Amino acid sequence: MMKHIAACIALGVLSLTASARANNWITFEGKDGPGKGKHIVFISGDEEYRSEEGLPMMAKLLSQRHGFTCTVLFSLGSDGTIDPNKGDSVEGIEALDTADLCITLLRFRHWPDDKMKHFDDYLKSGKPIIALRTSTHAFNNDKNSAYAKYAYNAAKDTGWQGGFGRQVLGETWVNHWGSHKHEATKGIIADAAKNDPLLRGVADLFVTTDVYEAHPIEGVKVLVNGQVLKGMEPTDAPADYKKKTAKGVEQGVNEPMQPIAWTNEYKNESGKSNKVLAMTMGAATDLVNEGLRRFIVNAAYAFTGLDVPDKADVTIVGDYHPTFYGFKGFKTGVKPGDLELK
């Protein structure tokens, strides 16, 4: 036990007592592997796409297969159980102070300013971010907050129109493009990205979530486009109807396809640059897909200064049976400590 605590202190991930850590968030210490000594902080917090299930699975994978020490943070209710509907809650955010990489799946969070400060400081440090699914609209901060500009719908006069999503990741919330819960997505690797290290060994990208409409800012590199399918199976044919964009322009739903994964380099106000991978995939059910898991693992390597493997091991650790996405569908009564490796 003392060795465990000492190791956590050395990594800077234990800011409270060991028992408080186990009760409020969870850390998977890295086994031997290229990521040994690197610390990844996962922040879950969305009401719909079951990040509280998918991110712990990825944390186990990266810690046990690749050596990264991984801390997973959650939104908690007053009883200490995981409650994604608590948009003002994020426990253990101090772990970001010593993180080498942050991976998020957030939606409309409105954390208190003392919590937001740790996220803002992380961004200003120039460290990398991998942002999944609804992280394009991660924040819905109060207008009186010192961090009001982070809100997904921040106005132009804030200097951050579109908030964290648009300014840092490259896009904020726009619209569902495919039919939600009825039309799944096939990932088509962009021609210009076929040799990108982040896509090394990645094939057969298929996710159950729909394509979002997205028009990323100038300068991003589109890695994957999303082909809207006629149904929810990978063998379904591409959809072929027309639809009006958020700007009122009619186009074929797959003509052209919408970008669903891209990289950006955000030059922050401290004069440093953050490497960013943003993708509109990432629900817990999406992560059943081997190609998507490898995509994220590859980015974790690249963004922490490691060589990307030819074909990273993305075998899931333990059982993984994710809940289908939807509001009011999260598993109740679960505490972070219940997710410890058995």
**Spans of all domains in the chain:** 2-176+262-322
- Token pair belonging to 250: 């009619």
User: Residue 3, exposed/middle/buried by CB under 10 A (0-12, 13-18, 19+)?
Assistant: exposed
pLDDT for the residue 342:
77
Give the residue ranges of the chain where pLDDT is below 70: 1-22
pTM comes to 0.93
Rounded to an integer, what distance in angstroms lies between the CA atom of residue 42 and that of residue 93? 10
CB of 268 within 8 A of CB of 274? yes
CATH number of 2-176+262-322, picked from 3.40.50, 2.60.40, 3.30.1330, 3.60.15: 3.40.50
Return the biggest CA–CA distance within the chain: 63
Nearest to 107 by CA among 195, 154, 44: 44
* Sheet of 26-28, strand order: 26-28, 69-73, 39-45, 101-106, 129-132, 273-279, 258-267, 221-228, 185-189, 206-207
pLDDT for the residue 75:
98
pLDDT for the residue 114:
98
Distances (CA, A) of 43 to 54, 107, 127, 229: 11, 11, 15, 30
Rounded to an integer, what distance in angstroms lies between the CA atom of residue 315 and that of residue 311? 11
Tell me which residue has tokens 């569902």: 176
pLDDT for the residue 271:
96
Distances (CA, A) of 88 to 45, 77, 108, 116, 122: 10, 10, 9, 10, 19
